[in-house]
Amino acid sequence: MDGIANSASISFDASALVDWAADFYGLDRLTAGHLDAHLPGAFAHSRRVARLAGSTARQLGLSREDVTRVRRAGAFHDVGKVEIPNEIINKPGPLSEEEFAIVKRHPVAGAQIVARWGDPQLARMVRHHHERFDGSGYPDGLAGEEIPIGARIVAVADTFDAVTSSRPYRPALSRREALALLRREAGSQLDPAVVGAFRRRYSGLRGSLGLRRVALRG
């Protein structure tokens, strides 16, 4: 596994992220210079997830400060993927168990990068956005309300955008099909309350998400 993990490492100055990202729009420069080059389409995906997550947080009645934090978590949830080798992150097909184990490192790597901002809540949202409501997710196997609310929100937004984006090994779902999938996953993969808020809020966002959709791994 170490051979795979080290075979395509890239140079990434995590300290530069702090300088660039005084606000959300620092993501423009980050992705243009690093993440988007490593994973084509990451910027557009992150913008959509940030928008959906922020809107869902507002629907849930979170404070303005927390809505901003959730939006940023959505924007930076995949930044740890800069640590994944190119031949894995851009593989045009299903991953092996060994490869998927490497992909599963990205929430921890992302949290370590984001932690440089000095906002532990934001770092925890990034770390735990792949936890599952039933406790079967990663990296720490948290369940229910053990998972930070921001991470639960990002998980719903990320799932929706992922399944409505085409991938080399499967077509995109329609938005109606994706909403039905969220409903089916509520209580197992996803927080039912967040899914409900997302579905209510999404009806007000239709037509405003016309960004190009691309395949993204993880």
pLDDT digits (tens, 9 = 90+) for 93-118: 788 999 999 999 999 999 998 888 88
pLDDT at 18: 41
pLDDT at 170: 73
Confidence of residue 165 (pLDDT cuts 50, 70, 90): confident
Local structure of 186: helix, strand or coil: strand
Is residue 209 in a domain?
no
Task: State mean pLDDT over 145-161.
Answer: 98
DSSP track, 134-175: TS--SSS---GGGS-HHHHHHHHHHHHHHHTS-BTTBPPPPH
Is residue 95 in a domain?
yes
**Percent of the chain clearing pLDDT 70 (strictly above):** 76
Is residue 163 in a domain?
yes
pTM of the model: 0.81
Are 69 and 121 in contact by the 8 Å Cβ rule? The answer is yes
Is residue 127 in a domain?
yes
- Mean pLDDT (the chain, rounded): 81
Confidence of residue 26 (pLDDT cuts 50, 70, 90): low
pLDDT at 70: 96
Q: With 50 as the cut, is the pLDDT of residue 7 above it? A: no
Q: What are phi and psi of 170, to 5 degrees?
A: -165, 150
Tally of structural domains, the chain: 1
pLDDT at 105: 96
What's the domain range around 47?
Answer: 2-202
Task: State mean pLDDT over 54-81.
Answer: 94
The CATH number covering residue 57 comes to 1.10.3210.10
Is residue 213 in a domain?
no
Q: With 50 as the cut, is the pLDDT of residue 216 above it? A: no
pLDDT at 12: 42
Cis bond upstream, residue 139 (ω within 30) = yes
Is residue 84 in a domain?
yes
Confidence of residue 33 (pLDDT cuts 50, 70, 90): low
pLDDT at 91: 85
Q: With 50 as the cut, is the pLDDT of residue 11 above it? A: no
Is residue 75 in a domain?
yes
| Bigger pLDDT: 176 vs 211 | 176
pLDDT at 208: 46
Is residue 210 in a domain?
no
